[in-house]
Amino acid sequence: MHTCPSNATIHLEQVTRTYAGGHSPIRAVDRLTWNSAQRGFWVVAGSSGSGKTTLLQIIGGIERPSSGEVWVEWRPLHQLNETQLADFRRHRIGFIFQGNNLLRHLTVYENVELPLLLTQGHGQAARIRHQLDLVGLADRAEAYPADLSGGEQQRVAVARALIHRPCLVLADEPTANLDSSAGLALFDLLRALPGELGITVLVATHDPLLIDRAPALLHLVDGRPGTAEARKR
Ligand SMILES: Nc1ncnc2c1ncn2[C@@H]1O[C@H](COP(=O)(O)OP(=O)(O)O)[C@@H](O)[C@H]1O
Ligand SMILES: [Mg+2]
């Protein structure tokens, strides 16, 4: 069971991220101030190019803000050096990407075990089995990714993102390569995690079907909260 502090998981203060553009710099995230408040499930919505990926990468310590403050799990990411940031990413965050990035020469079990080998130097069979059970893949442990459906592969990616017990899971367009029923099933699995594990989950998507089902929404337009921003809960 996770034991995550219950409050203040993400706080962004005037966060801007610019990239060099052709004529003028692009502001992928533009003076964004946002607080996730208590733990739960969030959808980061917005059309392509609205800054969703950049925002998730800043929150996950993959990218740095050009300016502003980024507090995640009580850590000031904007002040950490590279080593501290890498350590934060590896231990504190679970990532799920659009393409699942599973290693195809490893079994389902071995793919889920890998983060434990990297962070702790050894696997833990009972924990890995439990995690596969949680995502409904207990009986596919010895299969290879190519033997699985797209939806099953993404569920392996969920198990892999959870295995080191992060308090924050970031999923960037996790359903983009799935058909709508597999996409909805994966979305429902992700949406249940905060209640089951006491963690925070952020899902970036531009899919209206998923956005409609979001209990809480951060809507981005040009790197800023859009007019549709709302917390429905
Ligand atoms: N590495 C980069 N270099 C230059 N421009 C980038 C880079 N990453 C993102 N951008 C630009 O920043 C904006 C936001 O992109 P992104 O965060 O990927 O949005 P989304 O995930 O919502 O599609 C876009 O205009 C995109 O072209
Ligand atoms: Mg994106």
Question: Over 80: is that where the pLDDT of 35 sits?
Answer: yes
Look up residue 195 and give its two tokens.
């209640």
Which atom belonging to ligand 1 lies closest to the Cα atom of 50? 22
Question: Over 70: is that where the pLDDT of 39 sits?
Answer: yes
pLDDT digits (tens, 9 = 90+) for 145-203: 999 999 999 999 999 999 999 999 999 999 999 999 999 999 999 999 999 999 999 99
Q: Which of 26, 202, 219 to mutate to test the pocket of ligand 1 (most atoms within 8 A of CB)?
A: 26
Q: How confident is the model at residue 8 (pLDDT cuts 50, 70, 90)?
A: low
Task: Among the bound ligands, name the one nearest to the CA of residue 32.
Answer: 1
Question: Over 90: is that where the pLDDT of 5 sits?
Answer: no
pLDDT digits (tens, 9 = 90+) for 101-124: 899 999 999 999 999 998 887 779
Report the alpha-carbon distance of residue 131 to residue 159 in Å, rounded.
6
CB 91 within 8 A of CB 164: yes
Contacts 24+ apart (CB under 8 A), 29-35: 29/54, 29/55, 29/58, 29/65, 29/223, 30/222, 30/223, 30/224, 31/68, 31/224, 32/68, 32/223, 32/224, 32/225, 34/10, 34/218, 34/225, 35/8, 35/10, 35/11
Q: Is the CB of 98 under 6 A from ligand 1?
A: no
Higher pLDDT, 97 or 161: 161
Which atom belonging to ligand 1 lies closest to the Cα atom of 20? 4
Q: Minimal CA–CA distance to 62: which of 15, 101, 95?
A: 95
Which atom belonging to ligand 1 lies closest to the Cα atom of 220? 22
Architecture of the domain defined by 10-225: 3-Layer(aba) Sandwich (3.40)
Q: What is the mean pLDDT of residues 66-87?
A: 96
Ligand 1, atom 26, residue with closest C-alpha = 49
CB 100 within 8 A of CB 178: no
